[in-house]
Structure 1
């Protein structure tokens, strides 16, 4: 459970729920295999596919005008086999 930070609930991710896709923010060091194994064991579901993305923040130094990209978080979109579901978390 330490690798998954929170379940993401936005307008887009709520639309993805119709396709049996769930979105989680995870630790930057986590791999797809680790998250897949954990989700299958903890929620007792079968994972069909997984997509990941790393969001970046851009920082700019005004004097030199150099832009740097800093990785902010890693997000996983997990697609489940038909007939399986994950309960929604309440984010606080």
Structure 2
């Protein structure tokens, strides 16, 4: 996610992203630590209400709620892809 808040949080070593609404904080933490080889200090998550009208059905399955996560990394750890580094 790219927003003013997410960019501001990068300066505090916090990374924001949208995740599957079925994931738990523990599952998110394990995935981030294994995939990026970093240590996570903590996770905050919240459900974001869906946008748009209509009803959820087979033809329009995207009306379910989404989940936003903010991961705080321990000091001296960072995720290079978020910073534009290689």
TM-score (norm 1): 0.71
8 Å contact 2:15–2:70 — kept in the other structure?
A: yes
- Pairwise mapping of residues 74-89 of structure 1 onto structure 2 (< 5 A)? 74-86=67-79, 87-88=81-82
Larger radius of gyration: 1
The 5 A counterparts of 1:1-92 are 8-57=1-50, 72-86=65-79, 87-88=81-82
Structure 1 contact 54–75 (Cα < 8 Å) conserved: yes
TM-score (ref. length: structure 2): 0.76
CA shift, 1:12, in A, is 0.8
Q: Which runs of 5+ in 1 are unaligned?
A: 1-7, 61-69
Q: When you count strand as a share of all residues, which structure comes out higher?
A: 1
Unaligned runs of 5+ in 2: 54-62
Once superposed, what is the RMSD of the aligned Cα atoms? Answer: 2.1
Give the length in aligned residue pairs: 74
Determine which structure has the larger helix proportion and give its number. 2
